Amino acid sequence: MVCVLKLGVVGLGYVGIVSSLGFAELGFNVVGVDVDTARVESLSKGRPPVFEPGLEDYLKRNMKRAGGSGGGGVAVFTTDYTRLLGCDVVFITVGTPPREGGGQNLEYFEGAVKMLREVGFRGVVVPRSTVLPGTTERVVAPLFEHVGYNPEFLAEGSAFRDFFNPDKIVLGYSDGVALEALRKVYSPFNAPKLELGVREAELVKYANNAFLALKVAYADEVGNIAKKLGVDVYRVMDAVGLDRRIGRAFLNAGIGFGGSCFPKDLAALIHLSRDLGYEPVLLDAVLEQNRRQPLMLVDLLRTRVRERLGRPSLRGLRVGVLGLAFKPNTDDVREAPSIRVVSALLDEGVEVHAYDPRAEENFRRLSPRFSSNVVYHATAKECVEACEAVLILTEWEEFRDASLYGGRLVLEGRRVLGVEGVCW
Ligand code: UGA
């Protein structure tokens, strides 16, 4: 007899939603819990509370299965923690946002663990949230007998694809019950499975993200040098990336990495390292390189505006910013390079116009300055037509249409058109 476990997921952000629907799709019954009533209602009605490719379809399919057609697993969404009592394994996927100074804010994480304990949950507890090594042992293990740690490697914009086709599955475990349960949960997957200690599994996630961030910062830095040499960094990286020891992925030079993961995880790892008495010079340099990179585009704009438009400064210039999200196919603007670029432009007295197909609302919410001092447009065309110069900050597919730009000065922060860019 195949024993199908019942799963719980606490925290319905990107990771929690994708995990709930992904496991349901694989035949598990899942209870997804969040304290945010609006979010739970929206998911229960099949309406995506965030933008993620495929999410609407997976929600629809889940609703169909819930309605009894087709059989298979079903994910239900609720604010009621007691519904988790019937679960064998509960994953914790709440956010662990950065604290002032680079540490980790564990408020939601600790809150979720405490609630799980208060309702009397006795099964296996497995954080998937990115937490610093030692956190699970310190916060979860004293309250529960069976504890694991299972890092996620879901990138926003391709989260469902990443869920169903992982490069690897890391199963951190503290005892045999936790390990057996995790083996069962992941039995439908073919990927290599690594069974590690909880603390090792926690560090895998940070080491993974730090290395990817390092690759991006490295590509950006080589790109800055290549531009001065008059050399195309993309052709260089195509060659470098063919070395199997290196690989081509994450060597696309541009205006730096953003998002809720790399900047936050690097800062937290640096913070932890200092606490442990080790000065992490390399990781520090990655963050510093990345902090400067978006401003290279503003410097380039200043130079080209002087040369081509004959204006001594950017003051009063109408500049269109295309793309606000930290990467395409997401509405997420956390730590997006657009934040630094738009702030710098506003500081210099530029009249900033902006367009993003998904992220305008989130960008407006970041600061009163962004909501009232930036002119937003409903289409890329309208935005471009209102401006004398254009900066492309996110590689949304629709920006690839060269006819949009009508001979204006266009500079790219991400390679979209192949015109002049921040490091090419
Ligand atoms: C990242 C990791 O890729 C996931 O594996 C991980 O699970 C996730 O963080 C997390 O910790 O939860 P994500 O932040 O969604 O995912 O996005 P990425 O696709 O990794 O992109 C990060 C940033 O790097 C973006 O701003 C992107 O534009 C930039 N980037 C990426 C480059 O500038 N060049 C590249 O070649 C690749």
More confident site: 82 or 2: 82
133 Cα to the center of ligand 1, angstroms: 21
Please state the atom number of ligand 1 nearest to the C-alpha of residue 251. 36
Q: Which residues make Cβ contacts (< 8 Å) with residue 46, sequence separation at least 6?
A: 56, 59, 60, 62, 63
Q: How many CB atoms lie within 10 A of CB 86?
A: 12
Together in a domain, 143 and 217: no
Convert the pLDDT of each residue in 13-33 to its tens digit.
Answer: 999 999 999 999 999 999 999
The answer on pLDDT for 293 being more than 50 is yes
Do 116 and 82 belong to one domain? yes
**Which pLDDT value is given to residue 71?**
74
Same domain, 250 and 178: no
Task: State whether 174 and 26 are in the same domain.
Answer: yes
Question: What's the structural domain count of the chain?
Answer: 2
Strand ranges in 202-336 using DSSP code E only, listed in sequence order:
318-322
Asked if residue 198 is part of any domain, the answer here is: no
Q: pLDDT for 316-328, tens place per residue? A: 999 999 999 999 9
CA-159 nearest atom, ligand 1: 15
CA proximity to 350, closest of 391, 297, 313: 313
Residue 360's closest CA among 347, 373, 370?
370
Q: Is 156 in the pocket of ligand 1 (CB under 6 A)?
A: yes
| 1 pLDDT tier (thresholds 50, 70, 90) | very low
* Residue 180 alpha carbon to ligand 1 centre in Å: 31
Among 127, 159, 191, where does a domain finish?
A: 191
Closest Cα to atom 20, ligand 1: which residue?
Answer: 155
261 is catalytic: yes
Are both 181 and 215 inside the same structural domain? no
Atom number, ligand 1, closest to the C-alpha of residue 254:
33
- Where does the pLDDT of residue 8 fall: very low under 50, low under 70, confident under 90, or very high at 90 and above? very high
Given 87, 261, 383, 423, the catalytic residue? 261
259: Cβ below 6 Å to ligand 1? yes
What average pLDDT does the structure give for the chain?
96
Q: Among 158, 191, 224, which residue terminates a domain?
A: 191
Q: Is 130 in the pocket of ligand 1 (CB under 6 A)?
A: yes
Tell the residue nearest (CA) to atom 18 of ligand 1.
Answer: 155
Residue nearest to atom 3 of ligand 1 (CA): 155
Summarize the confidence of residues 86-107 as an average pLDDT: 93
- The domain that holds 312 is classified in CATH as 3.40.50.720
Q: Are residues 246 and 110 in the same domain?
A: no
Q: Are residues 181 and 214 in the same domain?
A: no
Confidence at residue 23, expressed as pLDDT on a 0 to 100 scale: 98
Where do runs of H (alpha helix) occur along 106-149? Answer: 107-118, 135
pLDDT for residue 70: 67
Query: What pLDDT is recorded for position 280?
Result: 98
Structure confidence at residue 3 (pLDDT): 59
For residue 33, give its domain range.
Answer: 6-191
Q: Rounded distance, CA 46 to CA 62, Å?
A: 8
The rounded Å distance from CA 333 to ligand 1 centre is 13
What's the confidence (pLDDT) of residue 6?
97
- CA atoms of 180 and 88, how far apart (whole Å): 11
Match 């629709």 to its residue by tokens. 398
CA-closest residue to ligand 1 atom 30: 257
Q: What is the pLDDT of residues 201-222, one digit of tens each?
A: 999 999 999 999 999 999 999 9
Is 358 domain-assigned? yes
Of ligand 1's listed atoms, the one at least distance from the Cα of 213 is 24
Q: Are residues 385 and 253 in the same domain?
A: yes
Would 417 be classed as within a structural domain? no
Judge whether 233 and 253 are in contact, CB under 8 Å: yes
- Is the Cβ atom of 252 under 6 angstroms away from ligand 1? yes
Determine, yes or no, domain membership for 123: yes
Whether the pLDDT of residue 397 is over 50: the answer is yes
% the chain with pLDDT above 90: 96
Verify whether ligand 1 is closer than 6 Å to residue 227 (CB atom): no
CB-ligand 1 contact for 250 (6 Å cutoff) = yes
The verdict on 166 and 249 lying in the same domain is no
Q: How far, in Å, from the CA of 157 to the mean position of ligand 1?
A: 10
Range 396-424 average pLDDT: 97
Q: Is the distance from the beta carbon of residue 216 to the nearest atom of ligand 1 less than 6 Å?
A: yes
Nearest CA to ligand 1 atom 25: 257
Q: Which amino acid residue places its CA nearest to atom 37 of ligand 1? A: 250
3 state DSSP class of 306: helix
Taking the CA of residue 151 as reference, the ligand 1 atom at the shortest distance is 7
pLDDT in tens, 222-262: 999 999 999 999 999 999 999 999 999 999 999 999 998 99
- 263 in Cβ contact with 130 (< 8 Å): no
- Domain presence at residue 11: yes
Q: Is the pLDDT of residue 362 over 50?
A: yes
In terms of domains, do 182 and 218 share one? no
Q: 384 and 239 share a domain?
A: yes
Q: How far is CA 16 from CA 128, 345, 359, in A?
A: 9, 36, 21
pLDDT in tens, 146-187: 999 999 999 999 999 999 999 999 999 999 999 999 999 999
| Residue nearest atom 13 in ligand 1 by C-alpha distance | 155
Are 112 and 213 contained in the same domain? no
